[in-house]
Structure 1
Amino acid sequence: MGNKFGFLKKSAIVGVVAALTIPLAACGGGSTKNEAGSNGSKVKIILTNGKGEIDKQFKDAAKEFMTANPNIQVDVNSVAVGDSLNIYDKLTSSGKVVTMAMFSPYDAVNKYKDVGIDLSGEKWNADTKDAVKNSDGKVIGFPFAIEGMGLVYNQQVLDKAVGGTFDPFTINTRDKLKALLDKIKASGVEYPVAYQTEAWSVANHYSSLFLNQEKEPTKITDDLKAGKFDLAKNETWNGYYDTLDLLTSKTYNKFGERPLGQYYDTAHVAVGKGDSAILFNGNWAFDSLKAVSGTKFGFMPVPVDNNESNELNNKIAAGATQVMVINKKASKEQQDAAKKFLDWLVYDKAGQDFVVNKAQIISAFKNNPNKVTNPLGVAISDALAAGKTMPFTTNYVNTGDWTTILGPEVQKYIGKQSSRADLAKAFETYYKNQK
């Protein structure tokens, strides 16, 4: 989910705000122009990468593509990790025409809804169910990255606690989660949970999960805008905060005495080492966990109530979190070159290898034979294959607003500085102002 996704990529390390921009010269000679010329000149396309953590991999991939397509020059521009301003905006404001931009699905169909060309006729649509459509039903977003979020756990710690191989999908009620936390404590882990409370995490990630009580999450956001949805009386909305109360409590949370703070790194170190066992995050957290320990990690759903048959208790949130959009303002030659790059990502072995093996991204395309090795990515892939996923609800909210406006409200609730009723009112007031 901001950039990831509206998405700032959620790292505790906020990089230099300036975007990393390195033009890549194509192999071979010839002049470089914005459009293809009759004298064999190259087509120059500008791509923006909203996932700064794969800047090097993306630029290496562009070099491979240019070797195979010497008539195309690709300039990859990556956002700095943690920078909330989309690199597309920076380049556009400087007068450049970005040929293809990486946006969150929400931004692609809202803030940037007038940017993308219709991609409905592209071949790759037959190999994915995650393409993003606009309000007219036209495909405008190529699904670049599949990601997921839920309760991340340290497999070694939980295996010890349960006395065998822990199965995350057995924890499908809040009472079972509490019983698990008690078992973890009994195994010698004083604080089973390390709950980080950054605004993006507690707001546009955790607090958006309740939208999945409807098959179309936008139904609830539409009802909220119309003032027709009473959060305070909604069992699912309340249920997620009942679970949050459990996870952030003094009994189970490493930071329970002072639940608000910059705990991202500390939480990951604690779970990575096994000093704690569980945190709420997404597959992007693996780099932080991996830096500490080689222990295996997985995902379990966030239980919302004590109904074992409730789908929300039996699935993790997963979906396309970044999409590529081709700019209407680019020339026909540039648009065609960008389409060729997308086809390369889907159908060329080098493109497939870049996405999954080198960038460790779960491909949205069923024809990609590669599988991620990142344990959290594996957990998501397995859940997808087993039909145990629900929509990635961060894609249905304005992540910038949810981080800056609603994030502090959720933090106040966690810190017991406001009531559940106050929080419900804050969400409803925000949406009534979005008409």
Structure 2
Amino acid sequence: MKLRRLVACSMAVAMTAGSVMGCSSGQSTETTAENTSAEAGSESASESSSASGEGVKLTMMNSKPEIEDALEEAVKDYQQKTGVEIEVYSTDKPGEVIAQKYAAGDPATLIIGDYSNIKDVAAEKLLPLNDEKWVADGGDLLGIKVDDNLYGFPLCIEAAGLIYNKTAIEEITGEEFKPEDYVTLDEFKPLLEKLKEGGMESPVILNSEDWSIGQHFLQYIYKMHTGKAEDALAFLDEVRQGKANFEDDAVFNALYDTMDVLIDNNINKADPLAADYDLNASYLAEGESAFWLNGSWAWPDTKEYVDGSMSYGIMPYPVNGDFTSAGQLNANATKFIAIDNVKATPEQQEAAKDFLNWLVYDEEGQDLIVNKCNLVPAFSNIKLDMTNDFNKSVKKYVDEGKVNAYVPIPSDHRSTLAAYMQKYLAGELDRAELAGYLDDYWKNH
């Protein structure tokens, strides 16, 4: 075990298990001078606002803590160029913080949240952004709309699936690893056996956090119904009406066949709910295990253990069955930025919109998204090369159109259901019982 892993282990005693993140009235939409300069492309948004931004102060709630350091550094530079001060604070419970801040009359000017966080308060609390330049470059396709108004700026595209260590797999098998060769569970299981025979005792890594083993894996069940949102929602509506149930659902059972194999090969199998996220990252990065059920957002944690000698990627969960969504990655816009329309002044709102334009059209803003935050951008005009192996894999699936559509879920999905998945991981709940809890939840939503 390497020294840095020993350090991570000792630090874990003082850290909470959920600190890793790891996956909404009208306002004038008149085009501003800042938007006009953004359309020009070559002139930076920051330059266009430098004269008017002096003294304007914004707050930003960030629900993606792994990009906090990059954001903090970027807003300092942004203030020097524009005069606009942005105070950033981070949380891994965005729904709760948004509700608390609005109740206290102190909402953030810029809110980085999940789909449900933005949608839940959009019409009452947030500024419509329909006429912004970036809407045509990806915002319309990937942003959050409510009643024909766009409220959520798509910050990034992320994917959930199996992260893999390509080099570690190939060193044991002696063969090139191609994810497309392992679309089904029947294709995948022999690979796990070959890895174990080659000395990799536990080829799989599973997290214990509710957002990971619970939220993200459960969402895969919905998204795999043909890969289209309308089909997933139709199935959930049948569950709601009592016309269908999860226990008899082919997608549910296929995915849990896969989950059972992953659990059986889990490096944390002896005490799965005590799994340490930082150690999990090191297991994958250093090749102690080959596959980590996680998402592309895990690169900042993983790179701490990367020495440049190995290559990595992300792939869909392998599942048996004749599903049109098999072999497709769950890759969607996952974090969104919204602008407050309750307490923010017109000057603050204009400065906030200018900041969003800066992210999309200014070279420094693009660099922040792609290089410093290590995100896959949602905007077609951003042509920078991806900087890490996880994001390169995501971009490849997106470019090839091999992705499942986003299925919106209620904001209490994680808090209500994720703990049951943790119990399943720990062997305290069987598949039929878990299916029953899913039925009960969707009958009430």
Q: Same fold (TM over 0.5)?
A: yes
Residues 331, 287 of structure 1: alpha-carbon distance in 2 compared, 3 angstrom cutoff: closer
Higher share in helix: 2
For the 8 Å contact 1:79–1:87, the answer to whether it is kept is no
2:348 is matched by which residue type in structure 1?
Q
Match of 2:212 in 1: 201
Instruction: Pick one of 152, 174, 182 that aligns with 2:193.
Output: 182
Residues 119, 225 of structure 1: alpha-carbon distance in 2 compared, 3 angstrom cutoff: farther
2:19 is matched by which residue type in structure 1?
V
1:366 equivalent in alignment to 2:380: yes
1:397 is matched by which residue type in structure 2?
I
Residues 350, 299 of structure 1: alpha-carbon distance in 2 compared, 3 angstrom cutoff: same
Residues 127, 112 of structure 1: alpha-carbon distance in 2 compared, 3 angstrom cutoff: closer
Q: Deviations over 1:107-154 (max 9, x none)?
A: 211255522222122111111154323341321110012111111111
1:422 is matched by which residue type in structure 2?
E
Query: Structure 2 regions of 5+ residues with no counterpart?
Result: 1-14, 21-48
Q: Which runs of 4+ in 1 moved over 4 A?
A: 10-13, 38-41, 82-87
Query: Structure 1 regions of 5+ residues with no counterpart?
Result: 1-9, 16-35
TM-score, structure 1 normalization: 0.82
How far apart are the structure 1 equivalents of 2:235 and 2:113?
23
Deviation at 1:84, TM superposition (A): 5.8
1:58 equivalent in alignment to 2:71: yes
Within a 5 Å distance, the mapping from 1:62-141 to structure 2 comes to 62-70=75-83, 73-80=84-91, 82=92, 87-128=97-138, 130-141=141-152
For the 8 Å contact 2:95–2:117, the answer to whether it is kept is no
Deviation at 1:352, TM superposition (A): 1.0
For the 8 Å contact 2:153–2:337, the answer to whether it is kept is yes
Aligned residues: CA RMSD = 2.7
Residues 426, 113 of structure 1: alpha-carbon distance in 2 compared, 3 angstrom cutoff: farther
1:413 is matched by which residue type in structure 2?
Y
Task: Give aligned-pair identity as a percent.
Answer: 30
Within a 5 Å distance, the mapping from 1:334-345 to structure 2 comes to 334-345=348-359
Residues 243, 53 of structure 1: alpha-carbon distance in 2 compared, 3 angstrom cutoff: same
Residues 336, 427 of structure 1: alpha-carbon distance in 2 compared, 3 angstrom cutoff: same
Q: Deviations over 1:225-246 (max 9, x none)?
A: 4444311111001111111011
Deviation at 1:97, TM superposition (A): 4.2
How far apart are the structure 2 equivalents of 1:152 and 1:40?
42
Deviation at 1:86, TM superposition (A): 5.1
Deviation at 1:298, TM superposition (A): 0.8
Match of 2:400 in 1: 386
How far apart are the structure 2 equivalents of 1:124 and 1:40?
21
For the 8 Å contact 1:130–1:319, the answer to whether it is kept is no
For the 8 Å contact 2:18–2:209, the answer to whether it is kept is no
Match of 1:28 in 2: none
Q: Deviations over 1:281-334 (max 9, x none)?
A: 011222332222333211121022144xx3432111111111111122222222
Deviation at 1:90, TM superposition (A): 4.7
Match of 2:163 in 1: 152
How far apart are the structure 2 equivalents of 1:41 and 1:96?
22
1:375 equivalent in alignment to 2:386: no
Q: Deviations over 1:19-54 (max 9, x none)?
A: xxxxxxxxxxxxxxxxx9x99963333222222222
1:64 is matched by which residue type in structure 2?
D
For the 8 Å contact 2:144–2:153, the answer to whether it is kept is no
Match of 2:202 in 1: 191
